[in-house]
């Protein structure tokens, strides 16, 4: 059944667990998420970026979600707009049946330029008003995602900004977070503390200098009743990098967010944990492996089924590690 983000995260807070939010672009990813959830009895957050909506087509995506909900009627599913760039994107998501939207007002509508605090408050408040009138939840974002190692802030396309950002701009300010939640009425707040999107987050295993988990603890102290969201939370497992590189890939060594750091966040109010890259790595590794090992194969199912199975394993691991398993 469909459920809002607010309902899911309230339950998660009450029972002190976190929920992974997995990105969807195609049928195989949808099946992988639901098969994993069914296997461990977890509620589900499926999210689609603007890129995913363009890739799959809004109608296809909406009907795929309908189908997934019908196939697994006992699993609560929240369908979420990832990184909405303005009220229009959020409104059309709601028209297509999404039960939750992210209004990312940390960037301007071009999804490239850092926005002022005043712009962020205003646009997020307007989306909250519209979405709540439709019974839909809203996630806001305060602070610009980006690397504390390089000072590069992150535009939506994964490229850094021209100028470097200061340490302060890359970390959510706890005082501002209190004001933001009060002024906007968001159901969940995404914060910046050193993570970035994609595989290349850290050049070494992250410590407190580059991954500021203490910011989460401080914000949770000030806002104990606000559901916090961690973006850029793929762990970039070594074994998935190794499979890709063993079968013709060329990924330079990289580090993601260790699962134990996410688990620490979950102890301090983190309820939604965004994971896309790990699933992309699992899918690509499986496809590379089959195509190299079976060069005579040309039936797409021969590599898409292993790809789906590899993603299912990542999803199942995260449901268990974040504690949502058993809570469907
Ligand atoms: O926000 C980042 C997610 O991984 C979605 O990425 O915009 O390439 O679909 P995307
Ligand atoms: P990753 O790139 O770390 O998987 O982050 C995904 C994300 O934050 C989607 O909004
Ligand atoms: Na999101
Ligand atoms: Zn994100």
Q: How far apart are CA 67 and CA 71, in angstroms?
A: 6
> In this structure, which ligand is nearest to the CA of 276?
2
The reply to whether ligand 1 has any atom less than 6 angstroms from the CB of 198 is: no
Give the residue extent of every domain in the chain: 5-322
Mutate to test the pocket of ligand 2, among 23, 155, 188 (most ligand atoms within 8 A of CB): 23
- Average pLDDT of the residues in 212-229: 97
83 is in an annotated binding site: yes
Q: How far apart are CA 142 and CA 105, in angstroms?
A: 8
- Average pLDDT of the residues in 288-306: 98
> For residue range 40-79, what is the model confidence (pLDDT) as tens digits?
999 999 999 999 999 999 999 999 999 999 999 999 999 9
Contacts of 178 (CB under 8 A, 6+ apart): 222, 223
> Could you tell me if 5 and 271 are in contact, meaning their C-beta atoms sit under 8 angstroms apart?
no
pLDDT of residue 24: 99
| Separation of CA 301 and ligand 3 centre (Å) | 30
Q: How far apart are CA 259 and CA 234, in angstroms?
A: 9
Cβ count within 10 A of residue 135? 10
> For residue range 17-32, what is the model confidence (pLDDT) as tens digits?
999 999 999 999 999 9
pLDDT of residue 269: 98
Rg over CA atoms, the chain: 19
For ligand 1, atom 3: residue with the closest CA: 276
Instruction: Locate the ligand 1 atom nearest the alpha carbon of residue 25 and give its number.
Output: 9
> For residue range 117-130, what is the model confidence (pLDDT) as tens digits?
999 999 999 999 99
pLDDT band of residue 241 (cuts 50, 70, 90) is very high
Q: What is the CATH number of domain 5-322?
A: 3.20.20.70
Q: Is ipTM > 0.90 here?
A: yes
> Could you tell me if 286 and 246 are in contact, meaning their C-beta atoms sit under 8 angstroms apart?
no
């Amino acid at each position: 059944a469909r459920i809002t983000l607010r309902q899911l995260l309230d339950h998660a807070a009450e029972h002190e667990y976190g929920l992974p939010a997995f990105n969807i672009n195609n049928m195989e990813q949808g099946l992988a998420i639901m098969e994993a959830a069914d296997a461990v009895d977890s509620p589900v957050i499926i999210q689609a970026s603007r890129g995913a909506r363009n890739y799959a087509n809004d109608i296809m995506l909406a009907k795929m979600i309908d189908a997934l909900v019908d196939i697994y009627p006992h699993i609560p599913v929240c369908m979420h707009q990832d990184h909405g760039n303005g009220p229009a994107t959020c409104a059309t998501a709601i028209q297509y049946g999404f039960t939750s939207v992210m209004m990312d007002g940390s960037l301007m509508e071009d999804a490239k330029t850092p926005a002022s605090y005043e712009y962020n408050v205003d646009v997020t408040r307007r989306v909250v008003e519209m979405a709540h009138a439709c019974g839909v939840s809203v996630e806001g974002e305060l602070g610009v995602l980006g690397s504390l190692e390089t000072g590069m802030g992150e535009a939506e396309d994964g490229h850094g900004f021209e100028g470097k950002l200061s340490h302060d701009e890359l970390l959510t300010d706890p005082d501002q977070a209190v004001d933001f939640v009060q002024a906007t009425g968001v159901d969940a707040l995404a914060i910046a503390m050193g993570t970035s999107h994609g595989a290349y987050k850290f050049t070494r295993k992250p410590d407190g200098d580059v991954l500021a988990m203490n910011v989460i603890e401080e914000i949770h102290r000030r806002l104990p009743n606000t559901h916090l969201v961690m973006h850029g939370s793929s762990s970039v497992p070594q074994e998935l990098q190794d499979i890709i590189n063993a079968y013709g890939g060329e990924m330079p060594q990289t580090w993601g967010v260790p699962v134990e750091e996410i688990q620490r966040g979950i102890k301090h109010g983190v309820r939604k944990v965004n994971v896309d890259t790990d699933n992309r790595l699992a899918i690509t590794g499986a496809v590379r492996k089959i195509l190299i090992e079976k060069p005579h194969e040309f039936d797409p199912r021969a590599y898409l089924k292993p790809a789906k199975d590899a993603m299912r394993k990542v999803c199942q691991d995260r449901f268990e590690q974040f504690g949502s398993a058993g809570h469907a």
